[in-house]
């Protein structure tokens, strides 16, 4: 999906408030003061160091020699500043007042004498009294302002933290949201109401107060909510559920009140709460009892949603990927009474999303968006954006000037399977067993009629796997038939049975395959009613346990039925394993050639494997045995 940064527009008051905070000194004034202080200190040190100093005995010897032109005597501290006849200046300090002998000598030598008693200089006054006093006053003032700001922060803790996106320049429109035609159509009523509410008022229709966007992570729920505000041209108040939660009980409820008051002042507005499940969870669920702060926040939100009329022009929107844990009071009519499902994008939607993300990237002419979209089932808009970016990174690493299809293949492998482990060293026997294991998977996928086309198979260690077999569905599949589920189990067991057929051993490499096959068989029996012995019955919970909710529930079936379920699961797995063994035994030559090709090239495409099968002359007819 395409996203566009929406910068909050700032009016003059907010701009002035951001530039100049009342009651605080401008930063430039502080720097000027520090600079002036540094200059004064530096000048005083410079002057002090560049004046020559001598002992009083040297001064007296120069006076006796007639080399002193004049001097200035300070009566308070006996300091002497003397100037020689060569215009050199130095300082000294007399140990006492001059005696009669010394005065007669000075008069005899014709030395000009000046005696003075002066008060403290401005510099002495500055450094000894005014500067320390100013520093103390400044520190006291700084501490007072800091304490006042902290108290102000505590007093404003109940204010909401919503980000306001103004309607002056709506940044996100429906055109920025690629795909999701049905979602836009369903949510367009909200836009029409915010644009012209009088049409609804004339006929007496009531627009839903709250719209809940439900969907997996990364499907663009927040982007769609912004697009609604952009299309309607109204302010958009965005806040996450966690922004209401603090350590103080009652803070969340206060922020909810402040949020709704701010929205009412705007007239028409959209309040969007992202991840509403953080505050809207079922009350009283869990082992540890309720959470006072969260429940008070939820109660306040419920009462606020009852407190405004639908004709006021305020629409609540929220997003979650866990609607099953929301409190029923939040979903009743009059609150979030409309749920809009934002599913994972379909094939056509993925094409449009990919078009948006590759628009500003350099692509080669042979990049086919249809192939990329067909190879990314189950990916969200965020996943597709990451896929395009990974492909561009692979192109940069390879030194290419444009992105090629092989870069998308490498990016898809990295996103789905993980990073290739080129440093992993396998022994020849283990490498051969891995080749036959993956050849078994690939051969089953290629020979089973109606199965997803084989894309490629590799024995390069990737992620946590020693090898990978990948298929690409030709179209999105929304339901699974019994025959396809059985074919999936046959394909999952292909690696294990290939090892058993060729090496007469069973290794731990099939552990993940067995878990997936057993899980598929269990769902066929307990959820999908694909067992004649069980019949049209479904068992098990509908979702994960949430905070202990449902942990104390008893089993929904007897021990005898549980034994029947286990027997049926084993029967399905055993029957499909027999099919798999028969398929591989009949096509043993193809299995050997595919494994040999993997040992030589490490990676084979689906077309290369189809060519191997066609050359042997058995083809898909052997799969019907």
**What residues act catalytically?**
438
**DSSP annotation of 537:** -
Alpha-carbon distance of 49 to 331, in angstroms, equals 82
Instruction: Let me know: does 233 contact 195? Beta carbons within 8 Å.
Output: yes
DSSP notation for 452-488: PPEEEEE-S-BTTBS-EEEE--SS--SS--HHHHHHH
Strand runs labelled E in 372-523: 454-458, 468-471
Instruction: Let me know: does 481 contact 449? Beta carbons within 8 Å.
Output: no
Alpha-carbon distance of 352 to 349, in angstroms, equals 5
Alpha-carbon distance of 535 to 533, in angstroms, equals 6
Alpha-carbon distance of 441 to 584, in angstroms, equals 10
Query: Which residue in this structure is represented by tokens 């549980």?
Result: 562
- The alpha carbon of 265 is separated from its chain's Cα centroid by a whole number of angstroms, namely 32
Give, for 80, the enclosing helix (H) or strand (E).
strand 79-84
Beta-bridge partner residues of 53: 91
Question: Which token pair is 502?
Answer: 């060729």
Burial 580-606 (b: 16+ CB within 10 A, else e): bbebbebbeebbebbbebbbeeeebeb
| Strands 89-93, 79-84: pairing kind | antiparallel
> Which candidate, 368, 358, 349, places its Cα nearest to that of 409?
368
What is the strand order of the sheet 89-93 is part of? 52-53, 89-93, 79-84, 68-74, 112-116
Alpha-carbon distance of 193 to 312, in angstroms, equals 11
- The alpha carbon of 485 is separated from its chain's Cα centroid by a whole number of angstroms, namely 36
Q: Is 146 exposed, middle or buried (0-12, 13-18, 19+ CB in 10 A)?
A: exposed
Angle of CA points 498, 504, 508, to nearest 5°: 70
């Amino acid at each position: 999906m395409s996203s566009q940064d929406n910068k909050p527009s700032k009016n003059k008051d907010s701009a002035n408030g951001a530039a100049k905070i009342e009651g605080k000194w401008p930063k430039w004034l502080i720097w000027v003061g520090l600079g002036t202080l540094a200059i004064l200190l530096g000048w005083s040190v410079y002057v002090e160091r560049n004046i020559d100093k001598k002992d009083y005995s040297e001064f007296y010897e120069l006076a006796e020699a007639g080399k002193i032109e004049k001097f200035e005597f300070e009566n308070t501290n006996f300091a002497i500043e003397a100037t020689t006849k060569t215009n050199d200046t130095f300082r000294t300090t007399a140990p006492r007042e001059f005696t009669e002998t010394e005065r007669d000598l000075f008069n005899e030598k014709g030395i000009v004498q000046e005696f003075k008693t002066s008060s403290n200089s401005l510099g002495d006054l500055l450094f000894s009294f005014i500067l320390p006093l100013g520093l103390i006053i400044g520190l006291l003032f700084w501490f007072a302002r800091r304490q006042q700001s902290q108290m102000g922060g505590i007093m404003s803790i109940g204010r909401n933290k919503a980000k306001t996106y103004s309607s002056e320049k709506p940044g996100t429109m429906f055109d920025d949201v690629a795909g999701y035609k049905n979602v836009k159509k369903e949510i367009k009523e909200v836009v029409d109401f915010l644009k012209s509410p009088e049409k609804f008022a004339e006929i007496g229709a009531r627009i839903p107060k709250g719209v809940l966007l439900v969907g997996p992570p990364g499907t663009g729920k927040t982007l769609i909510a912004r697009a609604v505000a952009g299309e309607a041209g109204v302010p958009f108040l965005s806040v996450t559920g966690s922004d209401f939660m603090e350590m103080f009980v009652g803070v969340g409820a206060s922020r909810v009140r402040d949020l709704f008051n701010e929205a009412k002042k705007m007239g028409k507005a959209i309040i969007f709460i992202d991840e509403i499940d953080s505050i809207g969870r079922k009350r009283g669920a869990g082992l540890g009892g309720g959470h006072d702060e969260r429940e008070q926040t939820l109660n306040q939100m419920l009462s606020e949603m009852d407190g405004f009329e639908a004709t006021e022009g305020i629409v609540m929107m929220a997003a979650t990927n866990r609607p099953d844990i929301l409190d029923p009071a939040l979903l009743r009519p009059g609150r979030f009474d409309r749920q809009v499902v934002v599913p994972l994008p379909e094939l056509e939607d993925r094409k449009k999303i990919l078009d948006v993300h590759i628009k500003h990237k350099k692509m080669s002419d042979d990049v086919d968006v249809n192939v990329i979209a067909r190879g990314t089932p189950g990916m969200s808009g965020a996943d597709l954006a990451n896929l395009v970016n990974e492909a561009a990174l692979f192109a940069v690493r390879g030194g290419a000037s444009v992105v090629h299809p092989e870069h998308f293949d490498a990016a898809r492998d990295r996103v789905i399977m993980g990073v290739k482990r080129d440093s992993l060293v396998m022994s020849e026997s283990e490498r051969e067993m891995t080749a036959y294991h993956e050849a078994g998977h690939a051969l089953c996928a290629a020979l089973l009629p109606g199965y997803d086309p084989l894309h490629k198979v590799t024995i390069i260690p990737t992620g946590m796997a020693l090898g990978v077999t990948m298929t690409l569905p030709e179209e999105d599949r929304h339901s699974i038939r019994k025959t396809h589920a059985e074919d999936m189990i046959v394909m999952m067991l292909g690696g294990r049975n290939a090892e058993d057929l060729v090496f007469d051993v069973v290794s731990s490499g099939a552990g993940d395959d067995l878990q997936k096959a057993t899980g598929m068989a269990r769902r066929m029996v307990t959820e999908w009613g694909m067992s004649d012995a069980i019949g049209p019955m479904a068992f098990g919970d509908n979702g994960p346990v949430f905070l202990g909710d449902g942990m104390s529930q008893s089993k929904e079936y007897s021990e005898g039925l549980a034994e029947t379920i286990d027997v049926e699961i084993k029967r399905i797995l055993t029957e499909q394993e027999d099919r798999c063994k028969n398929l591989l035994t009949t096509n043993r030559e193809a299995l050997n050639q595919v494994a040999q090709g993997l040992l030589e090239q490490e990676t084979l495409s689906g077309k290369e494997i189809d060519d191997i099968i066609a050359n042997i002359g058995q083809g898909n007819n052997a799969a019907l045995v």
